[in-house]
Structure formats: structure tokens, C-alpha cells
Structure 1
Amino acid sequence: MSSSDRRTFLAVLSGLALAGCGFRPAYGPGGVAEGLRGRIAVDPPDTRNAFALVERLEERLGRAEAPLYRLSYRLSTIREGLGISEAQETTRYTLRGELPFQLVDLSTGTTVQSGTIKAFSAYSATGSTVATLAAERDAERRLMVMLADQLVTRLVATAGDRAR
């Protein structure tokens, strides 16, 4: 069996296995998260980091056109020195982010899900002042993407519970 035939065979076999187990794309027709896209109104951002967070959430969930839920959050970040040189200069920083959230059903006003998402990122401070500032902003942006992605994953994973 040639390499190309083997790949085709394995692709078909894996497709059959997924079809047999009841696999459905989360956002696809009949998927558990089908009703989430464009249905969650996210609280407006008030900082640069919150703006990056909301931007990523709306990228993943869509901007709310006819919201069924409201997502409120309280974003906090802490910067800590991680690496110290022999001259007692900090050469590496870590950014820890914490995102307590609450998903509220707009029709009833009840909280349908809440929790806290945590993540961290790091950056080097060994370059020039401009390079260090650019590295810090990049680390902040990466941290916001991680927090948003983890939050969306949690919302999608529990979407079936809300549909019942």
C-alpha cells in the first residue's frame, strides 16, 4: 500500500470513528454551542488589557447582535520579577492574570455560570527600554488571548448544560 493510499485510508477510518461516536462540531448545526455565537454581550472594556480581552472574546464568540446572556468580568494582572542578574537587575518578568467572570441570563437575571480563569505569560527585560516595553505589551496581549480562549472553552464545554 502506498503512502498516499495509507493516509487516505486512515483519514476515512478516523472520520468513521468520529461519526460513530456522535461527534458534532460545537458551533455546527445541532452542536451544543450553536446558540452562543452572537448571543453573549460582553461588558465594555475600560483598560488596554480589557480591550484586548474583549476583542478576542468577540473574535471567538461573535459580537452580540441579539444577546441572550451578559458576560461580566473583573480583570486583574500582577507583574513579578522572575530573573535577577548578578548586578541585581531584573532580567525577566512574569505576568499573572486572573479573570473572575459571571454569565447572566438576560431573560431571567439569573447567573447561569461563574468562575475564575487564571493564566500567566512572561517576557525578557534584557534589551533596550523600547524593546522591553514592546515585550511587556506583547506578553500582556498574549495573556489576554489565553484568558479569553480559556473562558470560551469553558463556556462551550458547559453550553450543553444550559440547553437542557
Structure 2
Amino acid sequence: MSSFNRRLFLLSGAALAGCGFTPAYGPGGAATRLQNAVLVDEPDSRPGYLLTRRFEERLGRANPGRYALSYSIVITENAIAISSNNVITRYNMLGKVTFALRDIDTDKVLTSGKADSFTSYSASGTTVATQAAKRDAEARLMTILTDMIITRLTAEAGTLPA
């Protein structure tokens, strides 16, 4: 790293510190109130399990929890590539999660929203390969959607009751 790049790096850190920037999960950061504090609704499907698992990987498992997260997942698939023999060779998997974060004590909704995204998978291999690709796409999609929800909650963490 050149000396110019090092100075720029150090100056940008100083500028952020000078403007009152606090990392979301750093000491005194607002998002620390979400860590080990959000009880996710019990999953009733594989996508729900994947969402819950990712959520708890990122923010920890709440016991008993200050907030409750309820969600609804809708996943659809569309054929996006069809061979000259009329065989579908690729699918788009579209996902939408509607969520609400509630205060456990009052049951008041503190924030809510939607997250949507997509991923795709190949269906040109064997049946087993296609099923494996579909399950992998579903896991990737739920990771994307869960990360979007966590980003939204992190941005709004400062408005949540402590």
C-alpha cells in the first residue's frame, strides 16, 4: 500500500469518527439491541427454517427475547429458458417475505416491511441434479431475503425501544 493510500485510509477513518459515525454493532451502536433479542416465529416449512437459521446465525438466538419477528414467505418459479425441444432448462425462483417486528411485552408492531429478490437454477441435468440445484437456489434466495430483512432492522434499530 502506498503512503498516499495509507494517509487517505487514515483520514477517512478520522473523518467518520469526527462526524459521530458509530458502527451499528460496535460499542454503543443501535443495532446491538437486536443481538440475541429477536425471537423469530417457529418455521413451518423449509424456507421458514432457512430464514430462521440465517437470522439466528447473524443476530443470535433470543432467549426469551425482547422483540418477536413474524413473517410470511411466498416463493414462485418461472421458466426462463426453453430448449428447441420444448424442455425447460432454467428456472427463476422469485421470493417475497413480508415481515413485522413486534414488542413482545405490548405486542405492538414496531416496524414492518417486505423483502423480495430472485435467484435461478439449471434444470438441464438429471432429475437428481435438478432437485439439488433447486434446493440450493432456495437456500441462496432465503439467505438474500433474510439479509435484506436484517439490514432493514439494523437501519431502524435506533428507533426501537431499548
Which of the five TM-score ranges fits, normalised by the shorter chain?
over 0.9
For residues 10-89 of structure 1, the aligned pairs below 5 Å read 10-89=8-87
List aligned pairs for 1:76-115, cutoff 5 A. Answer: 76-115=74-113
Q: Secondary structure at the match of 2:34?
A: coil
Normalising by structure 2, we get a TM-score of: 0.94
Deviation at 1:17, TM superposition (A): 1.5
Q: 1:121 matched to which residue of 2?
A: 119
8 Å Cα contact 1:32-1:163 kept in structure 2: no
Q: Which runs of 4+ in 1 moved over 4 A?
A: none
1:161 to 156, 159, 162: 159
Per-residue deviation, 1:105: 0.4
Q: What is the Cα deviation at residue 115 of structure 1?
A: 1.5
* Equivalent residue pairs, number: 162
* TM-score, normalised relative to structure 1: 0.93
Q: Deviations over 1:18-57 (max 9, x none)?
A: 1122111101111111111000000111111211111001
Structure 1 stretch 29-38 or stretch 141-150: which is displaced more?
A: 29-38
Q: Which runs of 5+ in 1 are unaligned?
A: none
Aligned alpha-carbon RMSD (Å): 1.4
> Is the 1:103–1:114 Cα contact (8 Å) retained in structure 2?
yes
Q: 1:56 and 1:62 mapped to 2: Cα distance?
A: 9
Task: Measure, in 2, the Cα distance between the counterparts of 1:25 and 1:49.
Answer: 30
Structure 2 portions without partners, runs of 5+: none
Q: In the TM superposition, what is the alpha-carbon distance from 1:134 to its structure 2 partner? A: 1.3
CA distance in structure 2 between the partners assigned to 1:151 and 1:127 by the alignment: 33
Structure 2 letter corresponding to 1:67: G
Which deviates further from its counterpart, 6-15 or 115-124? Answer: 6-15
Quote how far apart the aligned CAs of 1:163 are. 4.2
Partner SS state of residue 132, structure 1: helix
